[in-house]
Amino acid sequence: MFDNKIEITSPEGLPFGISNEEYVSRGLSILRNPILSNVFFRLHIVETLGTGIVRIKEAYQNSYKKTVFEVNENAIKVTLPVISDVNLNDDETLIYNNLSKITAKSISEIMENISFSRSKTASILKELVSQNYVIVVGMGRGTKYTL
C-alpha cells in the first residue's frame, strides 16, 4: 500500500486458455482453487466468484485515475489508484478534457485544440501519466495518449 495507490501481485500468470485481452477487457476468470473460493464465499469474504475485474472497472469508470493491469508469464499485477478529490490544475484539466477513452491522440493532435507549446503539452501529459490520469499508447514517434 502506498499513499496514492494499492498494488496487488498474484504469482503465476494467467490460467491456461485465457488471453490477456480476455482477462483485462472481459474479466474472464477461471478458479484456481474452487475449494478455497467456496470457503471464502461461505464466510462472506467474497460476494460472487470471478467478478473482481468487472467490479474494479465499474468502480473506476468515472474516475480520472484508472487501474493498471500488468500481465506476464509469471505474475499478474494490478495497481489501484487511490480515488480522492481530483486535483488537476487548469492546464491539466484543459489537456485532460481534450483526450478520449475511445481514440488515442498524439501530442500534435492535442495541440490542435490548445495554445500550449509542444514542450509544455508533453510535460503536462507526463505528469498526468505519472498520476494515472492518462495512459500512454505506443512508443517513439507513434506515442499517443488516451484516458
- Grid cell digits, residue 33: 482453487
The helix/strand count (H/E) of the chain reads as 6, 5
pLDDT in tens, 65-115: 788 888 888 888 889 988 765 678 888 888 888 887 778 899 999 998 888
pTM of the model: 0.50
Per the listing, cell 504469482 goes with: 11
